[in-house]
Amino acid sequence: MPLPWRLVNTTDRLKAMLDVLNPHLSSSANRLYISIQGTKDVPPATVALLLLHVAPTSDASEVTYIIDIYTIGTKAFTTLGSDRRNSLKMILQSPFHQIVGFDMRHDFTFLEANYGIKTALALDIQLMECLSRPANTIGGTDLVASDLPSCIAHLDAPLRVIWEEARAHNASVPLWCRRHRWTTRPLALHPLNNAVQELRMLPRLLGLYRRRMSDKQFENVLVATGEWVGSVSFQGGIGVVVQGGRSYHDQGEWLARFKVAR
């Protein structure tokens, strides 16, 4: 059964979401997990959806929010909640809210280039996975980063089974529909379920890799994430990362050089 999510496609729904999230964001134990869906592979790049999930929580607010940037526009980031304390942009830029994602280079590049949003405290789980590997598996300073499906495949059931089902349904969608799935309204159900299930795997992955690390290694990941995200340039609407003299244009497997103390 798919995990619960809520579509936020009006400013009224956005305000309601902010009102629910604000109490949870006051706790340093809670992290904000995000992913961005859009036309990243063809210019002009479009930020269509921002998926957002706060964890851990222990009540009915344990849902994933799908914020329809394509429909709401820039107001999605500037609209304030009813207490007028926070907007989505303020939350993402806050030094008190840790923003967690997977391969955040492109996501953060799009946010900064299009909406002037620059995160202050970020954690990239893709980078964390690389740096959590035993030293004897590294084989020098060059690492091949794992994609998200490869990481999820190592998780235990039942969440992995839910993700596998959502992924199978998404794969059944015709290719043309998949290419335009984030900019077509109404939004198709299977791609949304798949994106939500992937995001909901991130807290589990973070816990798995964190158990492999010392406190010092984890601090190094936080430092490295800032450098990792900052290495992206925005050219012609496409995020391009240059590491070790190579350019990377996709989110599959790529070779990257991490200059980080282990």
Return per-residue pLDDT of the chain as tens, 262 residues. 567 899 999 999 999 999 999 888 877 778 999 999 987 655 556 789 999 999 886 554 578 999 999 999 999 999 999 988 899 999 999 998 899 999 887 788 778 888 999 998 999 998 888 888 886 555 444 556 788 998 998 888 777 887 888 788 767 666 656 678 898 999 989 889 989 999 999 999 999 999 999 898 898 888 878 776 655 443 333 233 333 333 334 333 333 333 333 3
114/211 Cα distance (integer angstroms): 36
200/194 Cα distance (integer angstroms): 10
84-94: b (≥16 Cβ within 10 Å) or e: eebbbbbbbbb
- Tell whether pTM > 0.85: no
**Residue 245, domain member (yes or no):** yes
Q: What is the CATH number of the domain that holds 240?
A: 3.30.420.10
Please state the φ and ψ torsions of residue 21, each to the nearest 5 degrees: -75, -35
66 forms beta bridges with 7, 51
**Residue 11, domain member (yes or no):** yes
Which residue has tokens 């497997």? 253
What range does the domain containing 172 cover?
Answer: 5-257
**Pair type for strands 64-68 and 238-243:** unpaired
3: enclosing H helix or E strand: none
**Residue 262, domain member (yes or no):** no
Tokens of 227: 């450098």
Please tell me the total count of domains within the chain. Answer: 1
**Residue 106, domain member (yes or no):** yes
Residue type, 31: R
Which residue blocks in the chain are alpha helix, DSSP H?
11-25, 69-72, 75-78, 88-93, 104-115, 125-131, 148-152, 159-171, 175-179, 189-210, 215-230
**Residue 154, domain member (yes or no):** yes
